[in-house]
Amino acid sequence: MDCSGFSRWIYSLAGGSDLLGAGNTDNQLAKMKKTSSPKPGDLAFFGKLSDTHHVGIYLGNDKMANAPYTGVNVRIGTVSSHSDLVGYYTLGK
């Protein structure tokens, strides 16, 4: 499972339906609203605004759960370990 698949799966479990839908991180970002005050459960996107390449689920205190790439176990890491944070996003437009 890759990062977008992981976030999609977690949001489906939490929301009871496929809230993020199929696609990559750019497709997910289009369904989100940027927030300057992230809360646990919000998504942290990385890359460029028009070309994201990674997403993690924000846990608070600079921590995130993410699937680094297909075939690797889900990990808890830090948001700040990535130099290309696009921003934090919450569900809804």
The full set of domain ranges for the chain reads: 3-91
First to last CA, the chain: 26
Does residue 90 carry a pLDDT above 90? yes
Catalytic residues: 3, 54, 66
Distance CA 86, CA 47 (A): 6
Is the full-model pTM beyond 0.85? yes
Does residue 93 carry a pLDDT above 70? no
Distance CA 29, CA 18 (A): 15
The distance of Cα 82 from the centroid of its chain, to the nearest Å, equals: 13
Is residue 12 within 8 Å of 19, Cβ to Cβ?
yes
Domain 3-91: which CATH number of 3.40.50.12780, 3.40.50.1000, 3.90.1720.10, 3.40.50.1820: 3.90.1720.10
Q: Residue 83: CB partners within 8 Å, gap ≥ 6?
A: none
> Could you read off the pLDDT of 17-71 as tens digits, one per residue?
888 888 888 889 888 999 999 999 999 999 999 999 999 999 999 999 999 888 8
